Amino acid sequence: MLLRPVLALPFSTLQGNGHGSFSKTFLSNFSLSSEKGKKFVASASREQDFVVFRPFEEVEKDSLLVPLNPQLSLARHRFSDVCEAAINEQINVEYNVSYVYHAMFAYFDRDNIALKGLAKFFEKSSEEEREHAVKLIRYQNIRGGRVKLHSIVPPFSEFEHEEKGDALYAMELALALEKLTNEKLLSLHRVAETKNDPQMSDFIESEFLTEQVESIKKIAEYVAQLRLVGKGHGVWHFDQKLLHDDDAA
């Protein structure tokens, strides 16, 4: 916020000091405002000693005027259209990933597949992605942006893979999705930086980026373990571990 420079002198300096001519000359060069018993403050036109904030002049700036149009956000301040659009895109990414995980949950929950641990893991993952979308929706509203939901693409419903088996194939797909989501989040962060929006940068860093790299690490470990166990019996043990992971906690 801009501050107007002014010179401040003690009131006593300008009164009753026996230098009447100095006071008259000084006063003629400054517009004055003062309160009895407090510091004397005068606006000045040259380089000054310090600045005083003048709120009623500052709030008349265009960027601070409160809109009268009821369609416009009252809260919006220094929030770029580009940032608003990028957040809407990320909301769509989160919903799409959530939808894919939901399809995986439905697949592994089938009676003839019956890998309940994987079903539970993907159901929880789907909910987490949806929570990410909700978090972004709330943030969009906090900044005075307008949420626009885009289309969600129908995901695959079959995850059998002749060579890898369904568990490894689905987990590798999940790993690729998490990395893709991370790419999108980094792009969103770059948009915030480019538009000089440190609050949005901080929101993405603190609420998303750390969690995202942790998700990538966890799923990468699952892929490594599934590659070790192969298909069949080993997958059943892996699935049991996923199913009962929370029991030990």
Binding-site ranges for Fe ion (CB under 5 A): 94, 129, 132
- The enclosing H or E element of 9 equals strand 4-9
Taking the complex as a whole, the smallest distance from the CB of residue 90 to Fe ion amounts, in Å, to 9
CA pair distance 219, 143, nearest whole angstrom: 33
Q: Shortest distance, CB of residue 61 to Fe ion, whole angstroms?
A: 38
| Residue sitting closest to Fe ion (CB) | 132
Q: What is residue 4's three-state secondary structure?
A: strand
Q: Which is nearer to Fe ion, 43 or 201 (CB)?
A: 201
Closer residue to Fe ion in complex, CB, 96/115: 96
Q: Report, in Å, the least distance between residue 175 CB and Fe ion.
A: 14
Judged on CB neighbours under 10 Å (0-12, 13-18, 19+), 178 is buried
Q: How far is the CB of 129 from Fe ion (least distance, A)?
A: 5
Question: Among residues 94 and 172, whose Cβ is nearest to Fe ion?
Answer: 94
Could you give the C-alpha distances from 178 to 19, 70, 163, 164, 185, in angstroms and in order? 77, 39, 23, 20, 10
Question: Which lies closer to Fe ion via its Cβ, residue 132 or residue 189?
Answer: 132
